[in-house]
Amino acid sequence: MFGFLNVYKPKGKTSHDVVAILRRVTKIKQIGHTGTLDPFAEGVLPVCIGKATRLIEYLKDEKAYIGTVQLGKSTTTYDIEGEVVNESDKTVTIKEIEKALDSFRGDIEQLPPIYSAIKVNGKKLYEYARKGEEVKIEPRRVNISELKVLNFDEKKRQLELYIACSKGTYIRSVANDLGENLGTYGHLIKLVRVQAGDFGVNKSIRLEDLETKEQIEQNLIYPLECLDYSKYELTDYELEKVSHGNPINYNKSQEGTVILTKNNKLVAIGSSKDNTIKCSKVFI
């Protein structure tokens, strides 16, 4: 079994739970996912099965989310699962929100939540938090390419946002920081990932529809459908060379990653330079 699954991770399950379930059903250990979702979050979770795990680095990693922010309160975790630490009665208008959102668009410096899996000095941040230990958190540069208001319930002070962003962006931090920018507080109460690279929520498969090996095989996406690189069809002679990890001639001036195929089947991933393709990963 070789390919990708566009799984809809349900609320309450961890990304590792999803992988464990699929391993149990398929009896395949070589399964991995391409981006962790918090247990309270739901949505698109691309899963790689078999040798497709070796292709994770070649997949697009831009993400898109729909998140609901509760204004007026902040929590320890920046989301609904944490303890409330600050409250404010201040009300804000949609005009004030739109103005505040301007500072979150484009390249920004973002402080990750203390309750996150980022490692500092070999320990995950949430390990420091659980022990009450202080640790210096360095800001990280991320990009938010699109950020817009989908709905604002002024009475409940709940704000629904669409956020398209780079890998490593914490939507929980956006909720917390936005609340502070508005002179009140905020935390995330709902999060749905609607896009992960080429994997969209509209074509995702719910976990309950992947209970048998046959169902998984029926929903497998062949890697060539998701790899957006130049493709090169090998001759029989070139196939023999590639199968032994040897470089081949490439009469094109372009440089970079090239997908090598035979009869439109994935054979290898290579890198072209100086009219030569050197193979980095071979799948035969």
Q: Given this model, what pLDDT does residue 19 score?
A: 95
> Domain check: are 31 and 52 in the same one?
yes
Residue 162 has pLDDT above 90, yes or no: yes
> Domain check: are 216 and 239 in the same one?
no
- Per the structure, the complete domain to which residue 187 belongs is given by 63-195
Q: Which has the higher per-residue pLDDT, 175 or 115?
A: 175
Closest Cα partner for 221 from 63, 24, 1? 1
> Domain check: are 40 and 75 in the same one?
no
Q: Given this model, what pLDDT does residue 113 score?
A: 78
Which segment of 51-60, 109-118, 152-161, 257-266 scores lowest on mean pLDDT?
Answer: 109-118
> pTM (2 decimals)?
0.91
Q: Are 3 and 26 in contact (CB under 8 A)?
A: no
Bridge partners of 143? 107
Q: How high does pLDDT run on average in the chain?
A: 91
Mean pLDDT score, 156-171: 95
Active site residues: 38
Residue 131 has pLDDT above 70, yes or no: no
> Domain check: are 69 and 13 in the same one?
no
> Domain check: are 213 and 261 in the same one?
no
Mean pLDDT score, 159-168: 96
We report the CATH number of the domain holding residue 217 as 3.30.2350.10
Q: Which has the higher per-residue pLDDT, 117 or 159?
A: 159
Q: Given this model, what pLDDT does residue 173 score?
A: 94
> Domain check: are 76 and 180 in the same one?
yes
Q: Given this model, what pLDDT does residue 129 score?
A: 63
% of the chain exceeding 90 in pLDDT:
78
Q: Which has the higher per-residue pLDDT, 73 or 137?
A: 73
Mean pLDDT score, 44-60: 94
**Would you place residue 208 in the very low, low, confident or very high pLDDT band (cuts 50, 70, 90)?**
very high
Q: Given this model, what pLDDT does residue 80 score?
A: 93
> Domain check: are 132 and 109 in the same one?
yes
User: Which of 179, 207, 223 is at the close of a domain?
Assistant: 223
Q: Given this model, what pLDDT does residue 10 score?
A: 95
> Domain check: are 178 and 190 in the same one?
yes
Q: What interhelical angle do 94-101 and 171-181 show, nearest 10?
A: 120
> Domain check: are 39 and 132 in the same one?
no
Residue 55 has pLDDT above 70, yes or no: yes
**Would you place residue 175 in the very low, low, confident or very high pLDDT band (cuts 50, 70, 90)?**
very high
User: Which of 223, 238, 261 is at the close of a domain?
Assistant: 223
Tokens matching residue 6: 């566009």
Per-residue pLDDT tens digits for 79-129: 998 899 999 999 999 999 999 999 999 999 998 777 666 676 676 766 766
Mean pLDDT score, 261-272: 94
> Domain check: are 259 and 203 in the same one?
no
- Total domains in the chain come to 3
